[in-house]
Amino acid sequence: MKNSFILWTITIVITVSTMIYQRATGPTYPKHVKVELGNQEYKFKLLRSNEIGSPCDIQLPIEDKDVKAKIYYKKYKTNDELTIVDMERIKSHKKAFFGEGDEIEVLTTTLPEQPAAGKITYYIELIKGNDHVFIQKEEPVVVRFKGFVPRYILIPHVLFMIISLFAGTRAGVEAIAGGDKTRKFAIVTLIVLFIGGLILGPIVQLYAFGELWTGWPFGGDWTDNKTLFAWIFWLIAVIVLKKKPHNRLWPIIAVIVLFAMYMIPHSMGGSELNNETGKIETGMKE
Residues 177, 127: one domain? Answer: no
**Residue 153 placed within a domain:** yes
**Residue 176 placed within a domain:** yes
**Residue 242 placed within a domain:** yes
Give the pairing of strands 119-128 and 68-75: antiparallel
Pairwise CA distance, residues 63 & 212, whole Å: 45
Residues 175, 128: one domain? Answer: no
Residues 159, 254: one domain? Answer: yes
Residues 60, 76: one domain? Answer: yes
Pairwise CA distance, residues 135 & 139, whole Å: 9
Pairwise CA distance, residues 207 & 150, whole Å: 8
**Residue 33 placed within a domain:** no
Residues 154, 18: one domain? Answer: yes
Residues 138, 184: one domain? Answer: no
The series of mean pLDDT values per 10 residues for the chain, 286 residues long, is: 82 93 81 91 95 95 94 95 96 66 87 95 96 95 96 96 96 92 96 96 93 74 84 97 94 94 73 80 59
Pairwise CA distance, residues 193 & 175, whole Å: 19
- The reported pLDDT for the residue numbered 248 is 93
Residues 203, 139: one domain? Answer: no
Q: What pTM, to 2 d.p., does this model score? A: 0.86
Task: Please report, for residues 31, 33, 46, 59, 131, the alpha-carbon distance to residue 136 in angstroms, rounded to integers and kept in the order given.
Answer: 10, 8, 10, 15, 17
Residues 215, 187: one domain? Answer: yes
Which of 146, 177, 195 is the endpoint of a domain?
Answer: 146
Q: How many domains does the chain have?
A: 2
**Residue 126 placed within a domain:** yes
**Residue 31 placed within a domain:** no
Residues 100, 20: one domain? Answer: no
Residues 186, 125: one domain? Answer: no
Pairwise CA distance, residues 45 & 261, whole Å: 26
**Residue 244 placed within a domain:** yes
Cβ atoms of 167 and 188 closer than 8 Å: yes
- The reported pLDDT for the residue numbered 93 is 65
Domain that holds residue 117: 38-146
Residues 223, 181: one domain? Answer: yes
Sheet of 56-61: strand order equals 56-61, 103-111, 88-93
What residue spans of the chain are helical by DSSP H? 2-25, 151-177, 182-193, 201-209, 222-243, 249-263
**N residues, the chain:** 286
Domain of residue 94, CATH code: 2.60.40.10
Which of 98, 113, 146 is the endpoint of a domain?
Answer: 146
Within 8 A by CB and 6+ apart from 199, the residues are none
Residues 82, 124: one domain? Answer: yes
Find, among 83, 69, 76, 82, the residue nearest to 124 by Cα: 69
Which of 131, 146, 161 is the endpoint of a domain?
Answer: 146
- The reported pLDDT for the residue numbered 73 is 98
**Residue 85 placed within a domain:** yes
